Amino acid sequence: MKLPRRAFLHGAAVAAVLSAATHVASALDYPARAVHIIVAFPAASGPDIVTRLVAQRLSERLGQQFIVENRPGAGGSLAAQTVVNAAADGYTLLTATSANAVNATLYPNLNFNFIRDVAPVAFISGVPFVMVVNPAVPARTIPEFVAYAKANPYKVNVASAGIGSTTHLCYELFKMMTGLELVHVPYRASYLPDLIGGQVQGAFSTVPQAIEYIRHGELRALAVTSIARVDALPDIPSMGEFVPDYESDGWFGIVAPKTTRGEIIGKLNSEINAAVADPKMTAQLRDLGVLPMSMAPVEFGQLIADRTEKWAKVIKVAGIKLE
């Protein structure tokens, strides 16, 4: 049977409206099953700790499980690749960190472009690093450390989580701005046992990872890398108080596969922002030494682009290449 043109167009319009309504309804019903958040770092790492706090709140708020999966490897690129390739339905998310901005330059042959191939969802927190030393090091301040290192060139070992890691870049920026002759010791596994044991003398660590060791006296904090001091370590000065213009903050946020529908991204952004803004959650995050903050997806996307550009310059000036 042949439909009249007007009836056909009317039917097509109705179908389009119904299709759009179905998409909106499915987004409003989201999540209808468990959501997986991929973390590119091991359990008990800074990103893992913060993600689990957020996942618990989202589970409570949305009535579905938000399951955290740890998939370390290639400095975070393996986890990012998993999410880039996942179905864009909102059920596979990634905890993005400053490592993703670093990897864009450090790994020239990645099969994806992080800025182009993910959809920013929500910012969670800024994450300052803290320069820590073994208590046996005879330095309690940055000036004392600089004097000690200058008197002992190439004898002070500074550990990192691996070549090109954000902890390594914190070290390179510090070395470039102070002119010190230090020895970089990259680790594939955690460097904390050797740092606490005195096999290496110092490191830049995220505040969440190091804070309990600092509180128990197993490590000594010299400075945080943020512009301002951190509530969780109020007596520890910022690096910029001694090394002008030094700043090296990390960050945590949630991203999704690129073509995830706007309604789902909007709902997740709203829920994550509400979770982070909850007074109890804010207190927990600040106690860990991170700085809870909310952003619209477009703002978070701009931050990722800006940090990618910043670390590209440090990597090129320092001549950092993967072995």
Q: At residue 121, does pLDDT exceed 60? A: yes
Instruction: Give the rounded percent of residues in the chain with a pLDDT score beyond 70.
Output: 91
pLDDT of residue 3: 47
Edge-to-edge order in the sheet of strand 35-39: 66-70, 35-39, 92-97, 250-257, 118-127, 291-292
Collapsing DSSP states into helix, strand and coil, what is residue 173?
helix
214 and 307 part of one domain: no
CB–CB of 195/202 below 8 Å?
A: yes
pLDDT of residue 44: 83
Residue 207 lies in a domain: yes
Q: Over the chain, what is the mean pLDDT?
A: 91
Q: Is 103 exposed, middle or buried (0-12, 13-18, 19+ CB in 10 A)?
A: buried
Beta-carbon contacts of residue 63 (< 8 Å; ≥ 6 apart): none
Residue 144 lies in a domain: yes
Q: At residue 8, does pLDDT exceed 50? A: no
Collapsing DSSP states into helix, strand and coil, what is residue 181?
coil
| pTM of structure | 0.80
Residue 137 lies in a domain: yes
Q: What is the DSSP letter of 76?
A: G
Residue 252 or 165, more confident: 252
pLDDT of residue 27: 57
Query: CA-CA distance, 292 to 289, in Å (whole number)?
Result: 10
Instruction: Give the rounded percent of residues in the chain with a pLDDT score beyond 90.
Output: 74
Q: At residue 46, does pLDDT exceed 90? A: no
**194, 215, 241: which is the final residue of a domain?**
241
In which domain, by residue range, is 267 found?
Answer: 31-127+250-318
- pLDDT by residue (tens digit) across 190-241? 899 999 999 999 999 989 889 999 999 999 999 999 988 998 899 999 999 9
Residue 18 lies in a domain: no
